[in-house]
Amino acid sequence: MASDRQFERRKLVDKNMKILIVDDFSTMRRIIKNLLRDLGFTNTQEADDGQTALPMLQSGDFDFLVTDWNMPGMQGIDLLKAVRADAKLKDLPVLMVTAEQKREQIVEAAQAGVNGYIVKPFTAQTLKEKLDKIFERIEG
Amino acid sequence: MTEEKKSLLGESSLEFARKLVQEIENGNESGVEAMIDELADLRESTLFMEVGKLTRQLHDAINSFHIDAKISELADRDFPDARERLNYVIEMTDKAANTTLNAIEESLPMCESMEDSARRMAEEWQRFTRREMSADEFRAMSPRIGKYFEDSTEQAGQLRGKLTEVLMAQDFQDLTGQIIKKVITLVEDVESNLVKLIRIAGAGAVEKKKEDKQDKDIKAEGPVVPGVDDVRADVVSGQDEVDDLLSSLGF
């Protein structure tokens, strides 16, 4: 049964994984934080742009990164590129949650090595699906 | 006449003055009058030339103002664009407010009914602990307790769903914030262009059209406003299209 398989897989995902949420709007960070908590992920931290996020990632043993694109200071796409260029961080799963929806932008993010791309406004269900998909690929 | 205009202190002016003195000495009134008229004409034509020069400057200034592509862009595109964006902000905030209010209106009766049944169960339970309840009454209460537990679990779950709806409705703030920031940038553009206009009108300076910097980097654009951005650029219309695009790239 599909639901049983899903349950098995979810059991494998470490709900205690450390997740960094990067967005310049605190309301969006709160929404993502609450949605993640609803999905069982309680170990989250926040940053308001790439410049703040990068040092946190470099020193903070994070397991997952959720980032916006359009932010002052360092943009999400540049953060993604910096993560992929960093020997220690290059394998960190990155999920983009952004209002940017030009095809060339999505292609650029894909080429930069993003693991998932969600456009705003999004639903709780979409977030869950994309997370599941990313974990599925990592384990598979 | 043209020679005299060019060099008022030249030989011809001196000649003219000598001739005028001579005419006065000769008592030739009509001749003097003709010469003074000629002098007045000279003066008037200089005035006309100055007016002409000013007209030319004004014309140039107006032209340079028209040439500034930014201005016509503002009028043709950016203002209607800003209007659309702000309308979209109204639409989104309206939708968020309604979603939130609906969820609250549906949650309140749930809270009330949970409160009611909890109070009723508490009263019955107290009668039981005070041993005021007969065995028959207790047997009747037992399934009600079971149902109460079931109902409470279900209603708490429903409430949780409503709270998630309220939570998700707050996402407008991020998107409207980005849109309003864009409109603020537009207002700043208008301001700087008005300053330019004042400078042109004041000093008659010709503004050179600034070369638009060609930015090759892919820049962040902010939220796509329906009817404004999606008709202009190659954008996806939602998560499904993002997924399709990514899967076409091997994701």
Q: What is the mean pLDDT of residues B46-62?
A: 81
Q: What is the mean pLDDT of residues B126-133?
A: 91
Taking the C-alpha atoms of residue B172 and residue B68, their distance in angstroms, rounded to an integer, is: 36
Asked if A118 lies within 8 A of B164 by C-beta distance, the reply is no
Taking the C-alpha atoms of residue B54 and residue B32, their distance in angstroms, rounded to an integer, is: 34
Asked if A123 lies within 8 A of B168 by C-beta distance, the reply is yes
Give SS3 for B130.
Answer: coil
**Does B157 lie at the interface with A, CB-CB under 8 angstroms?**
no
Give SS3 for B221.
Answer: coil
Other CB atoms within 10 Å distance of the CB of residue B157: 9
Asked if B246 lies within 8 A of A118 by C-beta distance, the reply is no
Q: Residue A110: which of B220, B238, B246 has the nearest Cβ?
A: B246
**Does A48 lie at the interface with B, CB-CB under 8 angstroms?**
no
Render pLDDT for A6-62 as a digit per residue (tens, 0 to 9). Answer: 444 445 688 899 999 999 988 889 889 989 988 999 999 999 999 999 999 999 899
Asked if A35 lies within 8 A of B167 by C-beta distance, the reply is yes
**Does B108 lie at the interface with A, CB-CB under 8 angstroms?**
no
Radius of gyration of chain A (CA): 14
A-chain residues near B164 (CB < 8 A): 34-35, 38, 124
Distance from CA of A37 to the nearest CA of B (A): 11
Say what the ipTM of the complex is.
0.77
Q: Best interface-test mutation with A: which of B85, B179, B242 has the largest number of A CBs within 10 A?
A: B242
Picking from A137, A24, A39, the residue whose alpha carbon sits closest to that of residue A91 is A137
Does the structure show a pLDDT above 50 at B152? yes
Reported as type and span, the H/E element at residue B201 is helix B172-203
Label residues B99-114 b or e (16+ Cβ within 10 Å = b): bbeebeeebeeeeeeb
Render pLDDT for B2-41 as a digit per residue (tens, 0 to 9). Answer: 444 455 667 777 888 888 888 888 888 888 888 888 888 8
**Does A85 lie at the interface with B, CB-CB under 8 angstroms?**
no
Reading the block at residue B5, the tokens are: 């205009």
Taking the C-alpha atoms of residue A36 and residue A44, their distance in angstroms, rounded to an integer, is: 8
Render pLDDT for A72-120 as a digit per residue (tens, 0 to 9). Answer: 999 999 999 999 999 999 999 999 999 998 999 999 999 999 999 999 9
Does the structure show a pLDDT above 70 at B66? no
Asked whether the beta carbons of A121 and A100 are under 8 A apart, the reply is no
Taking the C-alpha atoms of residue B50 and residue B216, their distance in angstroms, rounded to an integer, is: 49
CB pairs under 8 A between A and B: 92
Distance from CA of A103 to the nearest CA of B (A): 5
